[in-house]
Amino acid sequence: MTRAVLEVEGLGKRYATQAGELDVLSGVSFRVDAGESVAVTGPSGSGKSTLLGLIAGLDSPSSGRILVEEQDLAGMSDSALATFRGRRMGFIFQSFRLLPTLSAEENVRVPLELSGVPDARQRARLWLDQVGLSGRGSHLPSRLSGGEQQRVALARALAPRPALIFADEPTGNLDSRTGKEMADLLFSLVVDQGATLILVTHEERLAARAGRIIVLRDGQLVSDSRSAAGVH
Amino acid sequence: MSRGQSGRIWLLIICIAIGVAARVCVGSFTGTVARALADQARPLLGADIEVVANQPLTAEQRAALSELMPTGARTLDELGLVTMALASRSRHAAVVEVLGVERGYPLFGELRVAVDEAGRSPGPAKALTAGSRSVYVQRELLARLAAHVGDPLTLGATQLTIAGILVEDPGLGANPFVLGPRVLVDAATLVSTGLAGPGARVRHLTMIATADPLQGEGVANALRTRWKLPERSATGFGGRVESGPGIAIRTARQSQESVARVFDRLGDYLRLVSLIALLLGGIGVASLVRGFVAERLDAIATLQVLGAPLGRIMGMLFIQAGIIGLAGGLLGGTVGAGVENLMVVLLQGELPAADHHSLDLGAFAWGMILALSVTVVFAALPVIEISGMKPLAVLRGDQSPPRSRLLALAWGVLAIALFTALAVAESHSLTVGSMLIASLVLGGGTTWLVGGAGLAALARVHLPSFGLRHGLANLARPGFRPHAAVVTISLASLLFSTLAVYQESLQHELGEPYRADLPSLFAIDIQPDQREEFKGFLAKEFAMHEVSMAPLVLARFRGLASPASAATAPAAGHEGDGDRASRDREQRLSWREKLGADERLVAGQWMDDRGDRVEASLEKRYAERIGAHLGDLMTYDIQGVCIEATVTSIRAVRWASLRPNFLVLLSPHALRDAPQTWIAALPTLPPEARTAVQARLAERFPTVSTFDVSEAAARIGSMVSRIALAIRFIGLFSLAAGVMVLIGIALSTARERRADAALLKVLGAGRWTLVLSLLAEFGALGGLAGILGQAEAIPLAWALTSRFDLPLSIPLSVLCALALAVALVCAAAGLVACIRVLRVPPLAVLRDG
Ligand SMILES: Nc1ncnc2c1ncn2[C@@H]1O[C@H](COP(=O)(O)OP(=O)(O)O)[C@@H](O)[C@H]1O
Ligand SMILES: [Mg+2]
């Protein structure tokens, strides 16, 4: 039997706005096994990023429960969560989010050093090689193209060997060719690692590459289906 | 308006307010100190202004006087002359200075006389009326004449009666008698002696008291201009005017000149420091406005696309800057006035005039003008820069839209011109003002370059801890202008430490520890053959072994000649801007075997007494005033004997030591046999002992006069230590301005910092890592700025101390401590500025941008 790396039960998020209470998410439940790749799709504003933020422990839910590797996020302090994220989770964002003052290699090293990995430098170099950026390690983000920056972000996400990789619209800021290259690299490396991928996207072509697709609409889970690609 | 934005507007206002507060505070405070000094000087001269004339004032001159007299001024006429007084009983005679006064004498202070010859139970001078035919005399005269109170005293052909001795006579303070003790008599009685008749060498004094002690100087200058008089006039025998139209004007302030000059310069200096603090605040304004504009580039471009002319948008920004400038001016003016009041309260007792202290509206208004101009000029730079902006480029997301370099250059030229004008106005000197701005531009530029290199090096330092390394790397953050922060902080710490060094020197020079061995009593008119006896008496009776004595030879200065200009014409030579009036005047000469404790050579070599040549050593400022240089020949007439002396050294003298020091020292061999008297300075004594010593000396050496100077010494000393407090306040102001700028510059990158902090939290950074990163970044920045500032403080402190004639001592440990303190202050300020940033929820990483 496969181990559940993520369990979400009756998850809800409510924001107080000037127009009154707003339920951004409500009653969302699903379970993800280790090694799965799950695409979360839905129209803009449907609550995809909110869901991602909650399961990564970046925000706390208004209702429901989240277990990551059988640990309840609600019971963890901010700093314990930060440490947990640094060790067990990797992130890729639409706008790359590299630290502008650190070189590519240093950016990859950030989560390794924060979680006290001893051979951070070699590991960072190795991962830059893996994403095809050997020799660009000393460059600052401002000297890299968008596609290159996103590959650095991928190396950074994968370097600590996390159990879960979160990607929020990873190709959203890339042109279609670079976007495809990026997606290829993402899927192949994640599969290589045996990590679990939670991929938020509104692009159907990209979502279709995941083994499973969860669709949100107005904060509710409206469909959860396995795709053909999901058979590895 | 968001909370962050209103916070930034406050910061803008504070940036400006600090400099204005410093300026208003300095303005009011120097005004208060000047008034206090003038007030203290009043009783020394017995008036605010003294007009001395060899002839009675003409009707025309009287008209001019009353025309220029401010409302509330009082005047009093006096008549002075030097004559022989004869004690009819003992048949002894002595030279005396007779002063004939009118009812109302003295204008300031109190006249107190005593019938008792030891000066016990003094009271008002009742016998000073037209019919009384009585005089009051200085106690020393009784000794010289072997006379007593009640005895007859003959002046000219008239016999008068000694009604008592002068215990307190305000007019005596300015010039302890040179020719003889004072005889105070009613003016009508003096006229009746016939001594003051036509052709007599009389001086006619008009004493003037203005309502406000600070008015004196202005009225005196107006009178001098009207009568075409120099600021200083030579007075000769009996105090008569020996130059120009036979009329001279002295002010109370002149009688305290050295102290007044120190405070004037200090005022100039502090005004410039507050101008710099204001300019530092201006740099803060520029960086804040730049951040403000950068965040609104999108909105501005959109407005432009929608048809709003850029000129109007810029106009709006200027109006906003103007409002902020005015708000900063108001806040600063209020705070400055408050701090000044606080200082005056702290100085109570030191400043006798503190009670008629009021807010200096002039300083306040000037502060507003400064605030407005500095804010608008500095806000203009980032606003002007967007004038070259193409809205489409901005909307496309172009990170660095083209900026207008030419306009920025024009701005620079205009700004420098404006600040030079301000600095010139503040320092009352074209040279000082333009030098200041030039050295600011030069020093700022150098700091910019060196600091930039230092920052780049720091950003590349690989520290083992991620937090520390990330902090240092952040020094190279795009859009961040740590250069500007380094320049401002180093300038601020430069000002602070220069003030600290200066204050240290001042304190060392005049403060408590030094005062411990200041003299408290002076004795004058000691005859050469009394010297040993005098010393022995003090040693035996009071165990006083360290009495410093110096000889005094009265001479007349006949001329100065430079070997370069060949001619040896008396009172000619190189005139320069020297004081012509000091030619042909009485000069006290002295000699000493070696340089005194309060002197140091600044040029030439100490005299060699073995040869035949007569050498002269001049005090630095005196030499400047008369235009004398090394190698020049000075001619003196000592009771008919001419002496030519070559200037071989120039000395800086610590006058405030109150020990006997002289403008002119000649080779001992030239003076040893000249007619001379000796003066002695007695070491510090407790108050009771002082009166006892004075009484015993009066008994034993009746012809020797003693003066109690301990109060003057104590006054100067405690004033100095309180002034030091004021200096420290101003230093803190400039440091605060620097810190504000740092916060402003840090906040200009708040958005990027927020994003980074959120990301780092997502990637697993705890709060401590983020705090460490901030501490490293701002601590390193501050440390760099601190070191640069201290390094620059050394030449500045040197320039300053040499201008004030203080010996320079560089307290290295203090400077190191200050650099460290600057680093800590910056680290703390950076943390405070950015702590809100650290509270960003990690979720923010999924939102915006
Ligand atoms: N802090 C907040 N306060 C109020 N509403 C919010 C907040 N954050 C997100 N929302 C709203 O929640 C909804 C879902 O947002 P999001 O999860 O970003 O959608 P998606 O990523 O699917 O485009 C949106 O309508 C958004 O406006
Ligand atoms: Mg989203």
Residue B1: count of CB within 10 angstroms of its CB: 8
pLDDT value at residue B656? 63
- Measuring CA to CA, which residue among B790, B737, B722 is closest to residue B37? B722
Q: At B849, is the pLDDT very low, low, confident or very high (cuts 50, 70, 90)?
A: very low
Q: Is B3 on the interface with A (CB under 8 A)?
A: no
Contact call for B846 and A102, based on CB within 8 A: no
Residue B418 CA to residue B437 CA, distance in Å, equals 10
Would you say the C-alpha torsion B341, B345, B346, B349 has a positive or negative sign? Answer: positive
Residue B139 CA to residue B379 CA, distance in Å, equals 71
Mutate to test the pocket of ligand 1, among A17, A18, A24 (most ligand atoms within 8 A of CB): A24
* Residue range B265-305, pLDDT digits in tens: 777 778 888 888 888 888 888 888 887 787 777 777 777 77
HEC assignment per residue over B449-478? HHHHHHHHHHHCCCCCCHHHHHHHHHHHCC
Q: Is A110 on the interface with B (CB under 8 A)?
A: yes
Residue B24 CA to ligand 2 center (angstroms) comes to 55
Measuring CA to CA, how many Å separate A206 from each of A31, A94, B196? 21, 14, 119
Contact call for A102 and B473, based on CB within 8 A: yes
Instruction: Provide the greatest CA pair distance for chain A.
Output: 53
Q: Is B464 on the interface with A (CB under 8 A)?
A: no
Q: Which residues of B touch A24 (CB under 8 A)?
A: none
pLDDT value at residue A3? 77
**Looking at this protein, which amino acid is placed at residue B264?**
D
Long-range contact pairs involving A202-207 (C-beta distance under 8 Å, separation at least 24)? A202/A41, A202/A42, A202/A43, A202/A44, A202/A48, A202/A169, A203/A41, A203/A171, A204/A41, A206/A39, A206/A171, A206/A179, A207/A39, A207/A41
Q: Whose CA is nearest to atom 27 of ligand 1?
A: A45
Could you identify the residue written with the tokens 């004498």? B105
- A47 φ/ψ sector (left φ>0, alpha ψ -120 to 50, else beta): left
Measuring CA to CA, how many Å separate B201 from each of B157, B181, B190? 17, 18, 14
Contact call for B478 and A79, based on CB within 8 A: no
Residue A232 lies in a domain: no
Decide: A53 in ligand 1 pocket, CB within 6 A.
no
Among A73, A97, A115, A168, most B C-beta atoms within 10 A, so best to mutate, is A97
The tokens for A67 are: 């277990």
Question: Which ligand 1 atom sits nearest the alpha carbon of residue A219?
Answer: 14
Q: At B395, is the pLDDT very low, low, confident or very high (cuts 50, 70, 90)?
A: low
pLDDT value at residue B574? 40
pLDDT value at residue A159? 94
Q: At B153, is the pLDDT very low, low, confident or very high (cuts 50, 70, 90)?
A: very high
Residue A13 CA to ligand 1 center (angstroms) comes to 10
Mean pLDDT of all residues belonging to chain B: 81
The residues, any chain, with a CB within 8 Å of residue B784's CB and separated by 6 or more, are B451, B454, B455, B458, B486, B490
Contact call for B762 and A115, based on CB within 8 A: no
Considering every ligand atom shown, identify the ligand nearest to the alpha carbon of residue A94 and give its number: 2
- Measuring CA to CA, which residue among B743, B815, B818, B705 is closest to residue B181? B705
Contact call for A97 and B766, based on CB within 8 A: no
* Residue range A127-157, pLDDT digits in tens: 999 999 999 999 999 899 999 999 999 999 9
* Residue range B626-656, pLDDT digits in tens: 889 999 999 999 888 899 999 999 998 876 6
Between B476, B843, B847, which is nearest A101 by CB? B476
| Stretch among A44-48, B52-56, B255-259 having the lowest mean pLDDT | B255-259
CA–CA min distance B846, chain A (Å): 7
The residues, any chain, with a CB within 8 Å of residue B446's CB and separated by 6 or more, are none
Q: At A232, is the pLDDT very low, low, confident or very high (cuts 50, 70, 90)?
A: very low
DSSP notation for B168-224: E-GGGSSS--SSS-EEEEEHHHHHHTTTTSTT--EEEEEEEE-SSTTHHHHHHHHHH
Measuring CA to CA, how many Å separate B595 from each of B263, B509, B598, B624, B665? 28, 18, 8, 20, 10
Considering every ligand atom shown, identify the ligand nearest to the alpha carbon of residue A58 and give its number: 1
Could you identify the residue written with the tokens 């105070």? B184
Could you identify the residue written with the tokens 């309180």? B722
Asked if pLDDT for residue B578 goes beyond 50, the answer is no
Contact call for B765 and A86, based on CB within 8 A: yes
Measuring CA to CA, how many Å separate B689 from each of B114, B536, B539, B671? 22, 18, 14, 35
Asked if pLDDT for residue B224 goes beyond 80, the answer is yes
Residue B252 CA to residue B249 CA, distance in Å, equals 10
Between B470, B767, B845, which is nearest A97 by CB? B845
Residue B639 CA to residue B554 CA, distance in Å, equals 8
Interface A-B, measured as beta-carbon pairs within 8 A, has a size of 80
Q: Highest mean pLDDT: which of A51-55, B22-26, B208-212?
A: A51-55
Residue B730 CA to residue B277 CA, distance in Å, equals 9
Question: Which ligand 1 atom sits nearest the alpha carbon of residue A53?
Answer: 17
Per-residue pLDDT, averaged over B392-397, amounts to 64
Question: Which ligand 1 atom sits nearest the alpha carbon of residue B847?
Answer: 18
Between B474, B478, B845, which is nearest A142 by CB? B478
| Stretch among A17-31, A49-63, A79-93, B543-557 having the lowest mean pLDDT | B543-557
Residue B770 CA to ligand 2 center (angstroms) comes to 26
Asked if pLDDT for residue B563 goes beyond 60, the answer is yes
For chain B, the structural domain boundaries read 39-258, 429-516+708-849, 548-682
Q: Is B543 on the interface with A (CB under 8 A)?
A: no
pLDDT value at residue A108? 95
Q: Which residue of B has its CA nearest to A93?
A: B846
Asked if pLDDT for residue B788 goes beyond 90, the answer is yes
Asked if pLDDT for residue B336 goes beyond 50, the answer is yes
Per-residue pLDDT, averaged over B356-375, amounts to 80
Per-residue pLDDT, averaged over B161-183, amounts to 74
Buried b (16+ CB within 10 A) or exposed e, A43-81: eeebbbbbbbbbbbbbbebbebebbbbeeebeeeeeeeb
CA–CA min distance B774, chain A (Å): 14
Q: Which residues of B touch A84 (CB under 8 A)?
A: 764
Q: Is B474 on the interface with A (CB under 8 A)?
A: yes
Q: How many domains does chain A have?
A: 1
Q: Is B462 on the interface with A (CB under 8 A)?
A: no
Between A82, A99, A102, which is nearest B761 by CB? A82
Residue B332 CA to residue B363 CA, distance in Å, equals 11
Q: Domain holding A221: CATH number? A: 3.40.50.300
The residues, any chain, with a CB within 8 Å of residue B466's CB and separated by 6 or more, are A110, A113, A114, B765, B769
Asked if pLDDT for residue B227 goes beyond 50, the answer is yes
Task: Specify the 3-state DSSP secondary structure of B359.
Answer: coil
Asked if pLDDT for residue A107 goes beyond 90, the answer is yes
Among A51, A58, A105, most B C-beta atoms within 10 A, so best to mutate, is A58
* Residue range B717-763, pLDDT digits in tens: 666 666 667 777 777 888 888 888 888 888 878 888 888 899 999 99
Q: Is A78 on the interface with B (CB under 8 A)?
A: yes
Q: Is B760 on the interface with A (CB under 8 A)?
A: yes
Measuring CA to CA, how many Å separate A61 from each of A5, A41, A66, A91, B202? 19, 20, 9, 20, 103
CA–CA min distance A160, chain B (Å): 10
- Measuring CA to CA, which residue among A220, A230, A229 is closest to residue A30? A220
More confident residue, B357 or B360: B360
Measuring CA to CA, how many Å separate B472 from each of B211, B487, B774, B777? 62, 18, 9, 5
Would you say the C-alpha torsion B722, B725, B730, B731 has a positive or negative sign? Answer: positive
ipTM: 0.91
**Pairing, β B615-619 against β B599-604:** unpaired
Q: Is B761 on the interface with A (CB under 8 A)?
A: yes
Residue B309 CA to residue B313 CA, distance in Å, equals 7
The tokens for B496 are: 């602070």
The residues, any chain, with a CB within 8 Å of residue A80's CB and separated by 6 or more, are none
Residue A41 CA to ligand 1 center (angstroms) comes to 14
Q: Which residues of B touch A79 (CB under 8 A)?
A: 766-767
Q: Which helix (H) or strand (E) holds B66?
A: helix B59-68
Contact call for B843 and A58, based on CB within 8 A: yes
**Looking at this protein, which amino acid is placed at residue A65?**
R
Judge residue B513's burial from the number of C-beta atoms within 10 Å of its C-beta, 0-12 exposed, 13-18 middle, 19 or more buried: exposed
Residue A231 lies in a domain: no
Between A58, A79, A97, which is nearest B766 by CB? A79
> Is the separation of the CB atoms in B423 and B275 below 8 Å?
yes
| Stretch among A95-99, A128-132, B61-65, B121-125 having the lowest mean pLDDT | B121-125
